[in-house]
Amino acid sequence: MKNILNTQELPFCKGCGHDLIAKSTAAALEKSGCSPLDIILVTDIGCHGIIDTSFNTHTIHGLHGRSVSLGVGISLGLNNSDKKVIVFTGDGGATIGLQHIMEAARLNINMTIVIHNNMLYGMTGGQTSGLTPQGFNTTTAPSGNTFEQYDICGLAHTAGASYISRILGIGNIADKLAEAINTNGCSVVEVIELCPGYGMKLNPKRKLAEILESSGKSEGIWTNNRLPFAVDIKEEPTSLLKNLKAIEIIDKPQLKSSYTVLLSGSAGEGVQTAANILAITAVSSGYHVTQKGSYPVTVGVGFSTAEIIISPNEILYHGMTIPDIAIITSQDGLNHSKKRINLMNNGILMIDSSLSAPQTGARVYNIDFRSIGVKSASMFSLFYFSEISKILPHAAIFKAIEQHGDAHKIPLDKIKEIFRFDVL
């Protein structure tokens, strides 16, 4: 059987309890005879979350406090007790996502939640969390936390989880984790540990057992004799892909190797839509395509960047450092993509004429993309891409626009006039 971990050199500070939890979880899963491909590990924001690439399992990285809700969705979607859904979260994530833990326990979802309780927010500076014991020193409570912490195990037990345990992160805890993982229904394990970066420094000479005892809590196991949540499927669900129209292949690929395109402009100006049109066009021309979007969390402001890989061969993963062609339609896009443009030793840079081209080894084309309207600049750039690169024909772009349903948003008559071709 393949190992659950792909390395024993984990990315944690020396002495961090996260290392013990990760290795013990892997040992518990291996002892239980689990195949890596039958395990879905969901991690939260926090130091524990940097473990993702060290596991040979399926891994998903969630937003802060939302890992449990993702795990619930995965468990319900799989509806397969042979699959193991393991959620890692910290005491900070447990505080932020407390209601998600309570709902998973109340419904008794088939999953295991491992709470890495080092009693503070380790990644963001050692601040107090909802699971910080009274009297424990943090950067925001240097004289000791004055509030009682949540009893997360008590809450999960009252809510109805099948199995709850609180353990000290010392020694070999694999068997204790295996017991939780092999329980039907929701299991919650709170592992008490210390952060070497903040917890140990701010609470010198304190031991885990003493900290736990002084908080009025203890190690233990609590259970509820309940069946796990049953998914009652009364009718076969309809696939969301069913209503999608297949892209008609109208041409044969001309490229012999992959070609990478960077499209970058401002949020709200249709960059991602233009990238989608480009991807559809490439598929209709017989290519394999990947598309990746990047933009700030606050949607509608700042940059919007899209990466497209076009290849005559199957693309096994998306990865692009230096593009073959960069299309820049605004200052926001230039600011976000400037470093990659600087690294281009050849290739093509198409940049709006209102902008100054940065230092680059690419062949530069200054084009007034925004002349037919700011909202259409990115879409307009596709026709210049077709004209200059000779990779995709204009006709295929028009067909993709029609299929996407965006023809009414684009001044096609102006484009026809500029390029002197018929709009199909």
CATH number for position 265:
3.40.920.10
- pLDDT one-digit tens code per residue, 266-314: 998 989 999 999 999 999 999 999 999 998 866 668 999 999 999 999 9
Pair (214, 268) in one structural domain: no
pLDDT of residue 424: 36
Contact residues for 393 (Cβ-Cβ < 8 A; gap 6+): 251, 285, 386
Pair (78, 168) in one structural domain: yes
- pLDDT one-digit tens code per residue, 382-416: 999 998 998 998 888 888 887 777 666 777 777 76
Strands 84-90 and 39-43: parallel
Domain holding 193: CATH number? 3.40.50.970
- pLDDT one-digit tens code per residue, 192-216: 999 999 999 999 999 999 999 999 9
Q: pTM to 2 decimals?
A: 0.66
Q: Is residue 236 part of a domain?
A: no
Final residue belonging to a domain, choices 172, 196, 223: 223
Whether pLDDT at 241 is above 90: no
Backbone angles phi, psi at 307, to 5 degrees: -115, 135
pLDDT of residue 423: 39
Pair (143, 280) in one structural domain: no
Strand-by-strand arrangement of the 325-328 sheet: 288-294, 303-311, 259-266, 325-328, 348-352, 363-367
Pair (284, 156) in one structural domain: no
pLDDT of residue 1: 56
Pair (145, 59) in one structural domain: yes
Q: Is residue 246 part of a domain?
A: no
- With CA atoms as reference, report the closest residue to 412 among 396, 398, 391, 393: 398
Residue 285's identity, in one-letter code, is: S
Q: Is residue 191 part of a domain?
A: yes
Mean pLDDT, residues 21-46: 94
With tokens 């805890």, the residue in question is 173
Pair (59, 166) in one structural domain: yes
First to last CA, the chain: 57
Mean pLDDT, residues 55-79: 93
- The whole domain housing 293 covers 259-419
Pair (265, 371) in one structural domain: yes
Tally of domains within the chain = 2
Q: Is residue 231 part of a domain?
A: no
Q: CA 115 to CA 339: how far, in whole Å? A: 39
